[in-house]
Amino acid sequence: MREAEELLKILEGARDVFVLTGAGVSTPSGIPDFRGKGGLYERISPEVFCIEKFKQDPSFFYRQIGPMLKIILEAEPNPAHYLIAELERRGKVKLVATQNIDGLHQKAGSRKVVELHGSLEIAHCLSCGRSFSKEDYLQEALRGRVPRCSCGGVIKPDVVFFGEPLPSRALYEAIKAASSADLCLVMGSSLMVYPASSLPEYTLAHGGKLVIINLGETYLDPLAHRKFDVPVEKISREALRLLGAN
């Protein structure tokens, strides 16, 4: 695959790479994205992920998302996750900021990861604030039922819903890394969810390059040094092979 060679050549010329990933890096692991072909928005309304709707009717969220949680928990990383982890080991990638909540970057061996939209690892009671680990609340959630605290309050996973702010520490670290990088690599994101979508602009503003690997257009394509409209897993698998790391 010629594209993989080209990608590696661009990476070779960079010394500080900031990676921004979206749901498209995890579709090859069997987790549907939102806006891609066959994505969740073809089946469920974006309202499911709105915080106001969750507060009014948490059962709506858990009924729709219960079956999806099982898929996320059982998913395994794919070549895109492994390539990013390998590039971190080689000192190229300084940080990966992900919009995903599936934990697959960490499973693939990446250490420097910030989760811009939170994760399923921890949850909180919306009434008393008590925190819960995955083991404490996911059994109920997997059955499509609303997990509840002993105080009777609704338990919500620490994932960022539409209408909620991003975790400030994660956003700060991502902005800092994007600003100092000489290359921002976007993988599998439609770049439609703000503010994560604006992170590549920090790299561009400081004179760095932008490379995008995504099936479908993004608003930053015209500013990209190179856009690869190819499946992330294919180009990544080939890149790993060329690096001798597969």
Binding positions for ligand CNA, rule: CB under 6 A: 22-24, 26-28, 31, 33-36, 39, 99-102, 117, 188-190, 192-193, 214-216, 231-233
The residue among 24, 158, 147, 18 whose CA lies nearest residue 101 is 158
**CA dihedral sign of residues 243, 3, 105, 77:** negative
Work out how close the CB of 178 gets to ligand CNA at its nearest, in angstroms, rounded to a whole number: 16
In the complex with ligand CNA, the residue whose CB is nearer, 101 or 240, is 101
Give the strand order in the sheet containing 118-125. 131-133, 118-125, 155-159
In the complex with ligand CNA, the residue whose CB is nearer, 124 or 237, is 237
Work out how close the CB of 15 gets to ligand CNA at its nearest, in angstroms, rounded to a whole number: 26
In the complex with ligand CNA, the residue whose CB is nearer, 100 or 203, is 100
Work out how close the CB of 118 gets to ligand CNA at its nearest, in angstroms, rounded to a whole number: 8
DSSP state of 1: -
In the complex with ligand CNA, the residue whose CB is nearer, 183 or 186, is 186
> How far is it, in rounded angstroms, from Cα 97 to Cα 75?
19
Known catalytic residue at 225: no
- Return the bridge partners of 95, or none: 18
In the complex with ligand CNA, the residue whose CB is nearer, 100 or 106, is 100
The active-site residue out of 117, 124, 206, 225 is 117
> How far is it, in rounded angstroms, from Cα 221 to Cα 200?
11
Range list of H helices, the chain: 2-12, 51-56, 58-74, 79-89, 104-108, 134-142, 168-180, 199-205, 232-243
- Residues contacting 26, CB < 8 A, separation 6+: 33, 75, 78, 81, 100, 102, 104, 188
Work out how close the CB of 189 gets to ligand CNA at its nearest, in angstroms, rounded to a whole number: 3
> How far is it, in rounded angstroms, from Cα 124 to Cα 243?
43
Work out how close the CB of 91 gets to ligand CNA at its nearest, in angstroms, rounded to a whole number: 25
Cis peptide before 195 (omega within 30 of 0): yes
Just list the catalytic residues: 117
